[in-house]
Chains A and B, each alone.
Chain A
Amino acid sequence: MKTVSKVYAFLVFLFLYAPIAVLIVFSFNGSATMSRSVWSGFSLQWYARLLQDRMLLEALRNTLVIAVIAAAVSTVLGTAAAVGINGMNRWARRAVMNVTNFPMVNPDIVTGVSLMLLFVAVSKAMGGRSLGMVSLVLAHITFCLPYVILSVMPKLRQMDPNLYEAAQDLGCPPAASFFRVVLPEILPGVVTGLIMAFTLSIDDFVVSYFTSGTTQTLPIFIYSMTRKRVSPEINALSTLLFAAIILLLIVINLRTAKDGQEKTAGKER
């Protein structure tokens, strides 16, 4: 019984990692013709080319810029919103949470299409300006917000509501009592939200695809490559990103072995 379940777990992990192994192995392929399935010797040529590909690096830069801005703004806005929603009465809270859940339930493609309709209408009104970084950032903040709120909310619920009022009764101004009393309590939730927003933004393809105008983010760049010949440069890049993530996760795990479990549970999707 024990071996059966071990073999089973192994098979599922094989399923999950086989394509990644293929990607990584072929990033070291020495073939000249961008072949995906014929191995012709070890080489680092794709890594060398990667560092010279201006378009690709620009797409990477765009992706990171968007992710940083979107994560920061959605965390601030979302945390404030969570505090506000927590202070509402039952009825209002329910109504707002329904609106919050909506973009998470709604298929990405519909979110993307509807935002595109909005941005195009606005850009036409503004004299045919192109969609681009601005619309991408706005769209990313929009789909990140619910996740921030949902990771902050439980922490607020756990907090003793009297704490905040007690601080104010003791003469602490509202803003200061928020930063001194409330924020430290809910910080783990805020950090989780921030990390989630950042990763969601970096990984997003569908919404970006519809709202990018002429700007390329990394997923869009990769998409347009898969429509022709995927250069192994992309394999090289994703191998590097993958290595960076593993490194980051190891560091985080070592530092906060206790808190780790909570965070991972929240990071889905």
Chain B
Amino acid sequence: MKKRIAAFFAAILLVFAPVSAASAAETPARPGVTINVYNWGEYLSAGGDGSMNVNAEFTRRTGIRVNYTTFEDNESLYSKLAGGGANYDVIFPSDYMVARLIREKLIQKLDYKNIPNYRYIDKAYRGGVYDPKGGYSVPYTWGVVGIFYNKKYVKEKVDSWKILWNPKYTGKILMFDNPRDAFGIAQKILGYSYNSARSDEWNAAAKLLEQQKPLVQAYVMDQIFDKMSSGEAWLAPYYAGDAVTLVRDNPDIGFAVPTKEGTNFFVDAMCIPAGAKHKREAEAYINFLCEPDVAAANMEAVGYSTPESAARKLLPQEMREDPIIYPPEAVLRKAETYTDLPDDVSLQVDALWAQVKMGGAGQTVTLIAVLAGFLAVYIGVVVFKKIKRKRELR
């Protein structure tokens, strides 16, 4: 019911927001073009249940059409951009990935004149270490990582990442399917920084993850919604913002930030890739998402934390004051952000991650032996047939 009321207010606000609509109309952003938006899965209000369909609303107001596709993690976003061949206009990388994209010149500077709503972004979220001069990105959401657990089966206090290594829950634990988040958990248990440059620390973290592997049911990203709410899994580390959705689906699910070791604080930002074909329209889209009423409607559906105080004020009270979405100062103080890793460390992490997932590195000799074995069988068969034919001829 509260949702309905909030949606109603959002609708009223939309009616009384002609200023922004007019400002969008003044700009030379061309209606009729289609922009390619590449976002995380489950990260935009899609309509249904009286919530706002953000993309449809954007098209209604500006005439710009949206081709909306989703990715699963920062690394696959990076692959898609670095590989070329996909021309996006708006992307939503996290902090450390923004830094990497800037370093590799894969995103371009924004023209903030075209994003007047940037003024709503709180000072605290501007100019983060990932984009110190603030030229490339506009914060979209922020949050922390924590552990989701099913209260029916997990009775103990969840305050440490170590619970994900507890053999009691073998087969009921889900784990991040991306290297930074997965390694991050192991690093915090070991007391390391997320952004360590020491290869022995990364090796140790990989070893810890390998130890955890027999306990893990599956390595997943957004599939945790499905697996947690059906009771298929009992424990899963994930982003705090998804608590709203998960608890709505299954009230038995709880969320806790492991305060013993500390956690990750992240900002997901909006950027425009270098070579985007519709920069002007992309900026209009970013501007639209920063509109406080839009941001509020969006965050209400998505559940993440907004970097706009103006938008937060428009949220229903239980969301505005939810300690999961807006965690207390003590939690934030102990949280660390990911930063861009140097290339050699990054390569090592990729290799270690593949190693964790496949269960230990193999030997080159084994592969050569396999290939040689097949080749030997082939030659053997050919030779055998020749001999047979010769005998038959005789």
Contacts and interface: CB of A to CB of B under 8 A. Distances in A.
Direct A–B contact in complex, judged by CB atoms less than 8 Å apart = yes
Interface of A: 33, 35-38, 49, 54-55, 116, 119-120, 123-124, 128-131, 135, 213-214, 216, 224, 227-230
A130 B87 CA distance: 5
B40 to A, nearest CB: 9
Contact of A119 (B70, B85, B222, B226): B85
B250 to A, nearest CB: 8
A228 B85 contact: no
A130 B69 CA distance: 14
B42 A228 contact: yes
Contacts of B221: 227-228
Nearest to B275: A128
Nearest to A49: B48
B83 A214 contact: no
Q: How large is the interface on B (under 10, 10 to 19, 20 to 34, 35 or more residues)?
A: 20 to 34
Interface string B215-231: 00000011101100110
A213 to B, nearest CB: 4
A37 B229 CA distance: 11
Nearest to A128: B275
A214 B42 contact: no
Given A37-B230, A120-B83, A123-B84, 20 more contacts: A36-B230, A116-B85, A119-B85, A120-B84, A120-B85, A128-B87, A130-B277, A131-B85, A131-B86, A213-B85, A214-B88, A216-B67, A224-B41, A224-B70, A227-B41, A227-B222, A227-B223, A228-B225, A228-B226, A230-B226
A224 B40 CA distance: 11
A135 B87 CA distance: 13
Interface in B241-256: 249
A222 to B, nearest CB: 13
Contacts of B86: 130-131, 213-214
A5 B275 CA distance: 63
Interface of B: 36, 38, 41-42, 48, 56, 67-70, 72, 83-88, 221-223, 225-226, 229-230, 249, 275, 277
A45 to B, nearest CB: 11
A32 to B, nearest CB: 8
B69 A214 contact: yes
A213 B89 CA distance: 13
Contacts of B68: 55
Contacts of A54: 56
Contacts of A38: 230
17 contacts: A33-B229, A36-B226, A37-B230, A119-B85, A120-B85, A128-B84, A129-B87, A213-B86, A213-B87, A214-B88, A216-B69, A224-B70, A227-B41, A227-B221, A228-B225, A229-B223, A229-B226
A230 B41 CA distance: 12
Contacts of B275: 128
Given A33-B249, A128-B87, A129-B87, A228 B230 contact: no
Contacts of B67: 214, 216
Interface residue SS majority, chain A: loop
A35 B230 contact: yes
Given A35-B230, A37-B230, A229 B222 contact: yes
Nearest to B49: A32
B87 A227 contact: no
Which among B36, B84, B87, B249 has the highest number of chain A CB atoms within 10 Å? B84
A214 B38 CA distance: 9
Contacts of A230: 226
Which among A214, A216, A230 has the highest number of chain B CB atoms within 10 Å? A214
A227 B72 contact: yes
B175 to A, nearest CB: 16
A214 B225 contact: no
Nearest to A216: B69
Contacts of A119: 85
A258 to B, nearest CB: 40
B66 to A, nearest CB: 9
Contact of B85 (A33, A35, A130, A229): A130
A123 B41 contact: no
A228 to B, nearest CB: 4
Contacts of A120: 83-85
B57 to A, nearest CB: 13
Contact of B41 (A37, A130, A216, A228): A228
Which among A37, A119, A124, A213 has the highest number of chain B CB atoms within 10 Å? A213
Nearest to A32: B49
Nearest to A220: B69
Nearest to A121: B84
Nearest to B43: A228
Contacts of A33: 229, 249
Q: Which 4 A-B pairs have the closest CB atoms?
A: A130-B87, A228-B222, A120-B85, A228-B41
A59 B236 CA distance: 32
Contacts of B38: 214
Contacts of B42: 228-229
Contacts of B223: 227-229
Contacts of B88: 214
A229 B69 contact: no
Contacts of A213: 85-87
Contacts of A216: 67, 69
Nearest to B70: A224
A140 B284 CA distance: 36
